[in-house]
Structure 1
Amino acid sequence: MQLTQEWDKIFPQSDKVTHQKVTFKNRYGITLAADYYLPKNSDGKKLAAIAISGPYGAVKEQASGLYAQTLAERGYATVAFDPSYTGESGGEPRNLSSPEINTEDFSAAVDFLGLQDNIDREKIGALGICGFGGMVLNAAAADKRIKAVVTASMYDMSRVMAKGYFDSMTSEERTAALTQMSEQRWEDAVNGEPTLAPQGLPSELTGEESDFVANYFDFYKTPRGFHPRSINSNGQWTATTAMSFMNMPLLTYIDEIAPRPILLIAGDKAHSLYFTEDAFKAAAEPKEKLILEGLVHVDLYDQLDKIPFDRIDSFFADNLK
């Protein structure tokens, strides 16, 4: 794999941590590309570690890398990875997502962390942003090596794809969507490759978009958060991507994360808040919810003065010991 070696993140490089590109395989044999961050002067110490990914359609050079670098500054070993089929990670066809494989990607990151001599295997946590908040909760339910879980601006991608925003999709609309994707498979089979869906974000704003679309645009389509390898910035998902999500609910076993703790973080102005509220209701104790006043969904992607890193740090410090 040819990985970029220059610093191409949307955030400045910290002089308090060391950084290196790494690769590791998931159990499907897909090679994942990741950024591995360590606090400086940590030689000889057994560190607590955190696997990080998200948002959905983003890459490690965006929000997940910012979280990873910032938490490494606070003393953790962190790995921010590109999910399978996206960014610098392997997998064909490109620009595909999967509830199972992307859940597995978190466990593969745990594998990687646990193989490092300076990591305490009993002190590994995980953090998911946006759509990878749902993935990380699903991963933690099955993978008992994950000792503590944090989500930020969590999306349940299976729910939003199966039911629409705010569960507004009718049964007729669901049937129509699945019928369209089923027929699309014939075209893809004939062509020998998948068709790409239209890009999710407009190329420019007209002023008629919903607030949350405008917020996404402000992050992914402007210098604030644009990255050429990000699907949300510069690409398109395959047209049949939603098919598996619509039939495989991610949070079915969220209560089985217990007795390991969960911290769910969201803004009170986020259009996605209902995912966090409902996940909190479904989860078993111990669980915590932190709803931040005045914040929209994307504020928790990159706003260092708004992301509650002190609280995230204390949560992992308390529970990875």
Structure 2
Amino acid sequence: MKLIKTTLTAVLMTVNIIASAQTKPKNSNGLVYGDAITVNIPGKVNIHPVSYKLNGIDISANVYTPNGYDKSKKYPAVVLAHPNGGVKEQTTGLYAQRLAEAGYITITADAAYQGASGGQPRHVDKPANRIEDIHGMADFITRYAGVDKNRLGILGICGGGGYTLKAAQGDKRFKAVATLSMFNSGEVRRNGFQNSQLTTIQERLKQATDARAKESSGGEVIYTGVAMPTDEEIAKIPTDLYREGFMYYYRTHAHPNSTFKYTLSSLLYLMTFDAATNMDLINQPLLMMAGSKADSKYMTDEAFEKANNAKTKELFVIDGATHIQTYWKPEYVNQAVSKLVDFFGKNLR
């Protein structure tokens, strides 16, 4: 009886959150995070939609400029890499805006093949592409008016955090490296979340291989991650990451360009990737942040331990936060932003 009552309470809470989210006015910039910019005001933090080519693909990005931005002056800048399935209008937009409020020029872009960026077939999710997206953002923002290319930092969130670690291993334009709720896409796609799929690795690799063969012969593109659970099914998901993730992406902070869907053949590349390898190549200052209650925190811990050559390194634990709550909940976002401002302030002088 207690279990039934708990489940019913969770469902009712879910419905209430959904109803509240659906009454929010639409943002003129398509932004779905709290206190987002609705109109550019001279002298204030402004948002600038931009596009550029990356290996022949059109990339859609947003640049945020700080209060009193003067293109004749020089500002530190931060590149932000979004979570798996996310888009620039969600949590990376929130953090980009908050860092712009602190005096940084920031950029966040939709990954190639995803969001509003180009690339066919849609929703290809290869680690090499995501890492190249980060290099591409650095290419663009270091040429942007007012940016001091010698004071460039990077923040990766969730899956973008894992790809940030890989990008920073080789790209020394990044003078300071930060992650939030880092998600090691390769480890999870290979082993399952919390090592829950260790017995099916070869079976899933065979499925990905067959999907690749079908695509190469002109057949249909097969997708995975296309589940659309009901509110009741979401409430019963046992892990915070996925239960709250479905709520964030499909309900409270939904965006039409955001989806968990990706090509099944992408698993050929995801399952042989690991964000935590070669961490000794990071010689920049490193800050990794995760919630104390995040069931994904083990991935941050694993990577952090291997960063033996970082100039400085710090693991900042956000007390009480789960993985998804660091994306939007003000009390946790404020802690993360405060830490980032301190970290980038010290290392992007």
What does the per-residue CA deviation read over 1:216-265, in whole Å, with 9 as the maximum and x for residues that have no partner? Answer: 1221121x211111013xxx21122221011132332221111x111100
Which residue is equivalent to 2:307? Answer: 283
Q: Is the 8 A contact 1:99 1:250 kept in 2?
A: no
State TM-score, norm by structure 1. 0.92
Bigger helix fraction: 2
1:135 aligns with 2:163: yes
Q: Is the 8 A contact 2:36 2:94 kept in 1?
A: no
> 1:170-319 maps to which residues of 2 (within 5 A)?
170=198, 172-200=199-227, 202-206=229-233, 207-212=235-240, 213-222=242-251, 224-232=252-260, 236-258=261-283, 260-284=284-308, 285=310, 286-307=312-333, 308-319=336-347
Larger Rg: 2
SS, match of residue 231 in structure 1 = coil
Which residue is equivalent to 2:113? Answer: 85
> Which blocks of at least 5 consecutive residues in structure 1 are unaligned?
none
What does the per-residue CA deviation read over 1:109-154, in whole Å, with 9 as the maximum and x for residues that have no partner? Answer: 1111111231111100111100110000100001011111111110
The RMSD of aligned alpha carbons is 1.7
CA distance in 2 between counterparts of 1:50 and 1:198 reads: 31
CA distance in 2 between counterparts of 1:273 and 1:251 reads: 13
Task: Give the deviation of 1:79 after TM superposition.
Answer: 0.4
CA distance in 1 between counterparts of 2:82 and 2:271 reads: 20
Amino acid at match of 1:137: L
Amino acid at match of 1:117: A
CA distance in 1 between counterparts of 2:329 and 2:53 reads: 32
Amino acid at match of 2:112: S
Q: Which moved more, 1:34-43 or 1:239-248?
A: 239-248
Q: Is the 8 A contact 1:21 1:36 kept in 2?
A: yes
Pairing partner for 1:13 from 28, 36, 42:
36
> Which blocks of at least 5 consecutive residues in structure 2 are unaligned?
1-26
Q: Is the 8 A contact 2:276 2:302 kept in 1?
A: no
What does the per-residue CA deviation read over 1:55-101, in whole Å, with 9 as the maximum and x for residues that have no partner? Answer: 11100010011110111011000001101111111111111111111
CA distance in 2 between counterparts of 1:204 and 1:127 reads: 32
State TM-score, norm by structure 2. 0.85
Q: Is the 8 A contact 1:205 1:214 kept in 2?
A: no
CA distance in 2 between counterparts of 1:289 and 1:141 reads: 18
Which residue is equivalent to 2:58? Answer: 31
What does the per-residue CA deviation read over 1:280-313, in whole Å, with 9 as the maximum and x for residues that have no partner? Answer: 1011231110111211110111122212211110
> 1:112-191 maps to which residues of 2 (within 5 A)?
112-170=140-198, 172-191=199-218
Amino acid at match of 2:126: S
- How many residues are treated as equivalent by the alignment? 310
Task: Give the deviation of 1:6 after TM superposition.
Answer: 3.8
